[in-house]
Chain A
């Protein structure tokens, strides 16, 4: 530890061998953005095919590969790593720690990710094509009827699961052990709180996902029959195991987004967050409930009525803590001295659209009604309102909010606002009509549709191209900021911002808080 104040190493080895939380956070963010572009390209192919009824551009088999890879890449490649990147950058700075607790493991958990996705994307060029069974990979589609590339898919899921578990262990170890003196749990910024709870969810359920794909591997190659009725197994068991992972997974995606919004809204409302304690308890309540609602994804498999009722009521219960959060954000803004910079616009967009997604979720939770909505475009509309307008909007907000702190340059506000409005309008043109075609009976994951859905689908596709294009503007704005943005050295980029990350110099030095700050 002789040379204490060294800067970053030079060249490629800086990124390959770095143990610096800021470097690793940056790599996570760029990696997740490149996956966002890749998954977005798959989505554009889907929407181009659905632009008109009939088959125009791609074969049905390839269309299935696109829906599968779009889901997998967006969930595991874009959204999850982007929040891990944000956690890496911000958590040590928010709790006054010099770095993550386990910097070497941090390096590993990032660097095993790109190979995992290289393998997953590589399946596109293999014999039989990429996985085509949907991102939920239900057996027996993913076992008996799967293309040979399924083995590579299983391996990539194992690797990215390992990466997530290592990342979460690191975050929990950091938050529990490296807080600055005086930073009690109930003084932690809400982003740290939501990530702490998310990390516990990840440690609990990523191994379950690993178990599910291991069973698939054994059924395919080693003669077991976990999911094969011929050997005494049961395909429905797969759905139970998958959703026991899958439901907590959706909260893994959305809780850090809640954290981001809870940081940004108080800044631009110039008021402290309303109901901090209730925010923490609501987050914990959502995390707990996420473990006992999984079968609401599978109302139609033939459960006893008592089971349907239990999962229906338990699911509806989640609306209570979620409602507490929405009301707290609204109350934070109430009578605040509000301004509407880009991060705030994205947060308000989040608030409106996520709430719509929450309401359609409540509709889907009603077991008897779900038989109509199940596997329709209504479900697609619902989860894009929570995943895109929830997670992706809050991620965009986070980038605009902290980018000046990261690189010491201010982004172009006009371009940021343009990005927001094009995203907001494009997003709604894409997904709002999908509610209608879904309720009218258009099934998801099918490359063709009945003629009466043609107008709404064309609208959806146009919206998708607009939304896709707005992300190119985002990329341009970020690069332009880093290369030639207006330099700023104000420690507090935003006058209403609170928190330790705003006490360090701008741009944030390579090493921060080598001496822990004293919190009140």
Chain B
């Protein structure tokens, strides 16, 4: 056993105090990143990948049809009108699909929003590939104006065969006060 001092009491104290400091650091440098990695890898909490998917040419599986439902929610205190242009689409795995969400800022001042996606069932999250999404970036909007926000996605051909319906939910948050800080979309 490593000895840090010839006085056994000091030795014990130094080792234990270091353990306490390491455990404090462990929360920040291990637990937080590990949680995010696990959620990304396993699709826990329906988290989808935060970066654009580069499509691979694998062909469209026309024998299967999957229903995609879109849900939009405003976080508490978020005044925007926010919602999908269509609430439901029927798509084939492997095909590229486009839709738009509309947003309107009814207030006189400019605001910045961040949409956070969640996929249900969460098992499907890993098979829901977004090639373009407004959720990858913050969305600024001038006062009293509106915008169409595009979403482009591909359902993976390997989607488990028992999944017939996938719900993609967006919650839109007001991040006007946070802009400038480091905000990563997930």
Contacts and interface: CB of A to CB of B under 8 A. Distances in A.
A275 to B, nearest CB: 29
B105 interface: no
A207 B186 contact: no
Contacts of A237: 31-32, 35
B86 to A, nearest CB: 25
Interface string A185-224: 0000000000000000001111110111001000000011
B181 A207 contact: no
Interface residues of A, number: 36
A234 B39 CA distance: 10
Contacts of A396: none
Interface stretch (A171-179, A265-273, A510-518): A171-179
B95 interface: no
B13 A207 contact: no
Contacts of B13: 102, 169, 173
Contacts of B174: 230
Contacts of A224: 181
Q: How large is the interface on B (under 10, 10 to 19, 20 to 34, 35 or more residues)?
A: 35 or more
A223 B177 CA distance: 9
Contacts, number: 99
Contacts of A165: 20
Contacts of A205: 23
B146 interface: no
A292 B16 CA distance: 22
Given A207-B23, A223-B181, A304-B44, 14 more contacts: A101-B9, A176-B12, A177-B9, A208-B26, A211-B23, A231-B114, A231-B178, A231-B181, A234-B45, A237-B32, A237-B35, A241-B27, A244-B31, A302-B122
14 contacts: A172-B12, A172-B16, A173-B12, A173-B13, A173-B16, A203-B19, A211-B28, A223-B178, A226-B32, A230-B114, A232-B184, A234-B36, A237-B32, A241-B31
What are the 8 closest A-B residue pairs judged by CB atoms, nearest first? A211-B27, A230-B173, A207-B24, A207-B23, A173-B12, A232-B184, A169-B16, A223-B181
Interface of A: 101-102, 165, 168-169, 172-173, 176-177, 203-208, 210-212, 215, 223-226, 229-232, 234, 236-237, 240-241, 244, 302-304
